[in-house]
Each structure stands twice: as structure tokens, then as C-alpha cells.
């Protein structure tokens, strides 16, 4: 089973490979990162690590045998809450990795990062993402638009999560 790890500098090569290999797959359901992301990946990775060190974001990778199978991130940390984002490699989809990773990050958010609530958004046509959010305790709280596509906003309280760790 993949292990959730906090993002660090050594993850860069495997993370870049994960993003390149799954770019078309991700673009079918979420906005594409664009050419600039790949052209300046090393600088972007360093910037993410600086944001993480400052406590404004918490980045995680799902690793198995040196390969990144997924990402679960908390961004825009402020006032006890953060925005959740996640993605899983195409060849690893359907194995429950996103659900397990989100559960573990929810527990970390409360116990390690001191957060009390999380937000997330997904497009209406991304049934898999909506299912992950439902299985992990998120509830719809309104409509949104993501890169011109209709979507839903979700939220989740982390009350009662502190001290619980989900494997």
C-alpha cells in the first residue's frame, strides 16, 4: 500500500514524471497545468517547499516503490482552514488511494497542522472526485466555476479529528 509522505526536495524527479505521465488523464477532468509548469518545474518545486516551510501550504505525495502514485495537498492555509486538492495516477485509479490519502491528510490537518476545517471544489462531471469527497466526510455547500466549467464547493469540519490517525 502506498505511503503518504510530506513533500520534500528528493521527490522532484518522481513528481515530475508523475505529472508528465498523467497530464492528458488529469486534463480530462481538471484544468491543465500548462507548459510553463513543466518548463520551470524545478523552480516551482522549490517555491512549493518554501510555502510549505512558511506554513501556508502542506504538500503530500502517495509513494510506492519510489514512484509517485498521487498527491494530496492543503493550500491557502489561513484562519484554521485550508483548501484540499488531490490527484491519483491513471494506472492507480480505482484502488481507493484518493480516499485513503484524503482521510489521512484530514487527520494530519487536525492533529499536526492545527486546522479546524477544510474546503474543496470539483467539477460537476468529475463523479470520482465527488465520491471521494462524500466518502471522506465533505458536504456540498454551493456552486462554483472551475476554468469555465460548472462545479461544486464542499466543506468539512475537522472537529473530533485531533488525535485520530487514519492508516
Report mean pLDDT in 10-residue bins for the chain, 167 residues. Answer: 94 96 87 86 96 97 97 97 96 95 97 97 92 97 89 93 52
What pLDDT score does 162 carry? 56
Partner residues linked to 145 by β-bridges: 150
Let me know: does 117 contact 123? Beta carbons within 8 Å: no
Instruction: Give the whole-angstrom CA distance, residue 46 versus residue 41.
Output: 9
Q: At 98, which helix (H) or strand (E)?
A: helix 97-111
What residue segments make up the domains of the chain, in order of their start?
3-157
Instruction: Give the whole-angstrom CA distance, residue 75 versus residue 38.
Output: 20
Query: For residues 97-113, b (16+ Cβ closer than 10 Å) or e, as one string?
Result: bbbbbbbbbbbbbbeee
CA 64 to chain centre: 17
The CATH class of the 3-157 domain is: alpha beta
With H, G, I as helix, E, B as strand and everything else as coil, classify residue 131: helix
With H, G, I as helix, E, B as strand and everything else as coil, classify residue 125: coil
Let me know: does 166 contact 133? Beta carbons within 8 Å: no
Q: 66-114, pLDDT tens digit by residue?
A: 999 999 999 999 999 999 999 999 999 999 999 999 999 999 999 999 9
Amino acid at each position: 500500500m502506498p505511503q503518504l509522505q510530506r513533500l520534500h526536495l528528493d521527490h522532484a524527479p518522481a513528481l515530475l514524471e508523475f505529472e508528465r505521465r498523467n497530464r492528458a488523464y488529469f486534463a480530462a477532468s481538471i484544468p491543465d497545468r500548462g507548459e510553463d509548469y513543466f518548463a520551470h518545474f524545478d523552480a516551482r518545486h522549490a517555491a512549493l517547499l518554501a510555502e510549505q516551510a512558511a506554513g501556508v501550504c502542506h504538500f503530500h505525495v502517495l509513494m510506492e516503490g519510489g514512484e509517485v502514485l498521487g498527491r494530496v495537498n492543503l493550500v491557502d492555509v489561513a484562519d484554521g482552514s485550508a483548501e484540499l486538492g488531490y490527484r491519483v495516477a491513471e494506472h492507480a485509479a480505482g484502488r481507493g488511494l484518493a480516499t485513503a490519502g484524503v482521510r489521512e491528510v484530514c487527520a494530519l490537518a487536525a492533529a499536526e497542522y492545527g486546522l479546524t476545517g477544510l474546503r474543496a471544489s470539483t467539477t460537476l462531471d468529475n463523479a470520482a472526485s465527488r465520491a471521494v469527497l462524500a466518502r471522506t466526510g465533505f458536504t456540498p455547500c454551493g456552486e462554483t466555476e472551475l476554468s469555465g466549467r460548472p462545479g461544486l464547493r464542499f466543506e468539512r469540519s475537522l472537529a473530533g479529528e485531533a488525535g485520530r490517525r487514519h492508516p
